[in-house]
Structures are given as structure tokens and as C-alpha cells.
Amino acid sequence: DIVMTQSPDSLDVSLGERATINCKSSQSVLYSSNNKNYLAWYQQKPGQPPKLLIYWASTRESGVPDRFSGSGSGTDFTLTISSLQAEDVAVYYCQQYYSSHTFGQGTRLEIK
């Protein structure tokens, strides 16, 4: 199985500042035939199911604010929130769907 490792486990960021969450896969999730990275990001707020933010590593889901962006390729990926808002407090998960499906352990984002 592909193991997904996120860093850090938790993150405190001031309102309006940039938040960066990293995700590393134990093997590449880049499919060479279509040059797509099979990597998604989700946001989960307390008491709610996860919400899709990003797929194909960098494609923003419809309705997701443009302060959320995804980058990276192969085995190293980043979710960036350019200007943290209060409503962004949540746990964030990366997920690979290249080979079966596995999630990172989650990163808890709070306001400093």
C-alpha cells in the first residue's frame, strides 16, 4: 500500500497569514500515460464529513475559495491557504487514488 505522510501534524497560523501543509507519498502517484497526479485534498470541520478541496493535485473543486491551492508532483505535494480565514480552522487530509486509496494522518489547523 502507498503510505501518505503529512507534515506537520498540527499548525497554528495567524489570521491573514499563509498556511502550508505538506504531504509525501511512499511512491509516486504520477500516472505517466496522462501526466496526472492522483492526489486529492480534503477539509474536515468538527462534526462534518470531509469536503473535497483539490483533486489531480492542483485542480480546485467548484466553489472552493481561490485562497486554497495545491501543488507538487510525484511524491511531494503541498496545500497552501494564502490568507487564513477563521472558517478555515479544520483538519486537512491528503489522499492518493493512484493505487487503491489511502489517506494521510491529517493536519490540524488552528488560529494563532
| Site residues (vs another protein, CB under 8 A) | 38, 40, 42, 49-52, 55, 61, 93, 95, 97, 100-106
The nearest distance, CB 16 to another protein, in angstroms, is 29
Instruction: Please tell me the distance from the alpha carbon of residue 63 to that of residue 43, in angstroms, as a whole number.
Output: 13
The nearest distance, CB 102 to another protein, in angstroms, is 7
User: Which CB, 24 or 51, lies closer to another protein?
Assistant: 51
Amino acid making up residue 24: K
User: Which CB, 81 or 91, lies closer to another protein?
Assistant: 91
User: Which CB, 50 or 83, lies closer to another protein?
Assistant: 50
Tell me how far CA of residue 60 lies from CA of 22, 69, 98, in angstroms. Answer: 17, 7, 18
Instruction: Please tell me the distance from the alpha carbon of residue 109 to that of residue 87, in angstroms, as a whole number.
Output: 11
